[in-house]
Amino acid sequence: MDNNMEPNNFNNASSEVQPQQQVVNSAPVQQPAQNNKKKKSKLVFILIPIILVVIAAVGIILFKKPSDSATTTKKGETKFDINAYIPFQKNALYGYMNTNGKTVIEPKYTSASAFVDGNAVVSVVDETGFKYQIIDKKGKVKIEYKDDYKVLPNGNFIIDDSLYSNKYKKLSDDKYKVKYNSYDDLLEWTNDSDNSWGIMNAEGKVVYTYKFKTSSGYASVDTDDAEERFKDRYCMVKVTDDTTTYGIINCNTGKVVYNFTENRISEDNYNTFVIYDENKDYVEVYVVGDKVAFTSRKNSSIYTYDSEYFYSYDDDYNRLYISVATGKTQTDTPQSTTSSTSKKDLSEWEKATGYEKITSVRGNGLISGTKVVVPCEWDRLSTLPASVHNYLTSINKGYVIGKNGNMYYLVNIGTGESVSLNTTGEPDYSDSVFIKYTNEATKEKIAYSLIAGKTITSKNSIEIGPNYIVVKEDGKKQYYNSNLKLIYTEE
């Protein structure tokens, strides 16, 4: 494969409480909910996007990322651990306690995260200096690193520019510096020894290599999230070397399917790409089967018809229907087995939970199979992260956040009943069984436990963790578990 191809043109296809706090043994005051009445769409619902990736990053602090409590099961799914160890601080050092407040790992770390799949990230300072450690529930060090740590959806890790398995076996060769680039299953790497760059999958397989001509060369990749209905996934590679060129490659195999050209290429979505010429005119192409299967007329785009067809227009402005499977075109309206209203691409949240977000003229709602569990009567509906959602629904305490007008409500999944949170500010919940918000009238900070069905208030601050909260009052930090039991007080 010749990766350094010459520029080409458009046809280049190839419960204990301190003063000023109050535990209320009931849910928020119930109020009736009020009904207030392109280009290619990914059918994005207006719910808050939830990433199912457990992220552990540099600069870990006590409340770094609530997603640390999610236990990885298989790719694309996580399991919320309500009994996860809780990091706490004593005498400027961090340790861990269980949900009853019993110390399980003595304070000896300068920072500490919650546990992920039986492991946590801590930092220490010793005779060699500052460093991070990954420890197990017994405090045993699994691996040390200096700068960066990233958990991938398949359970593997990027640690200090190297790829490791979930058993901490190094998967990438020492010559590669591995970089996470926001695509969970697609990594970039550089090799200083031979001045090259490329793409690696999350299992450590190198799928594409580009050797630079100059010492200052660099490259980047842009693609769309992988979808099951597309057999192959394609990406745009931009190389800046002696000149800047663009190409399209198969993300899985590294095969170049559109030769590198100085004409700018931008990734659109669903394996479609926009290619510009020197006059800034453009065409849009659809790639399938390792070839450009369809090219639009000049300055025309490709649109989504349903999950089986795109559409575009010919030179006479007649509509052309493009098969997603083959790229072949037809002028007759397709007799699809699906339609844009009857079937849509499921989001990662929907795949992980089995629930589907729906929209009607009345508003937004939620279904499970064919059963409506939240009626379509909300201007906006926000879901909890999939791991939290799955845990709560398993104990019959599933909720979503609804918004009508300026007010937010807690909506029960199943009954559809709602209670007002008495706030116009968007609640904070992250990957937690707590919801935090500010009372509109009193300006007090409130944390509501979805487990206990109770609230706790503070005039100062409340920080929420996955299965605990910390309330700050009178210079003290008080730790409560998910049942709102006081388990530790930090002086």
For 424-441, write each residue's pLDDT tens digit. Answer: 999 998 889 999 999 988
Asked whether the predicted pLDDT for residue 125 surpasses 70, the reply is: yes
**Within a 10 A sphere around the Cβ of 41, how many other Cβ atoms?**
11
- Quick one: pLDDT band at residue 364, thresholds 50, 70, 90? very high
Asked whether the predicted pLDDT for residue 64 surpasses 50, the reply is: no
Asked whether the predicted pLDDT for residue 471 surpasses 90, the reply is: yes
What pLDDT, on the 0 to 100 scale, is given for residue 336?
A: 60
The residue-averaged pLDDT of 265-277 equals 94
What pLDDT, on the 0 to 100 scale, is given for residue 337?
A: 60
- Quick one: pLDDT band at residue 403, thresholds 50, 70, 90? very high
Task: Supply the mean pLDDT for the chain.
Answer: 83
- Quick one: pLDDT band at residue 152, thresholds 50, 70, 90? confident
Token representation of residue 122? 């801590």
What pLDDT, on the 0 to 100 scale, is given for residue 78?
A: 61
Asked whether the predicted pLDDT for residue 53 surpasses 80, the reply is: no
pTM for the full model?
A: 0.69
What pLDDT, on the 0 to 100 scale, is given for residue 10?
A: 43
**Alpha carbon distances (Å) from 464 to 42, 417, 455:** 33, 25, 13
Asked whether the predicted pLDDT for residue 215 surpasses 60, the reply is: yes
- 57 versus 138: which is more confidently predicted? 138
Token representation of residue 246? 């663009």
What pLDDT, on the 0 to 100 scale, is given for residue 77?
A: 53
The residue-averaged pLDDT of 267-284 equals 94
The residue-averaged pLDDT of 294-307 equals 94
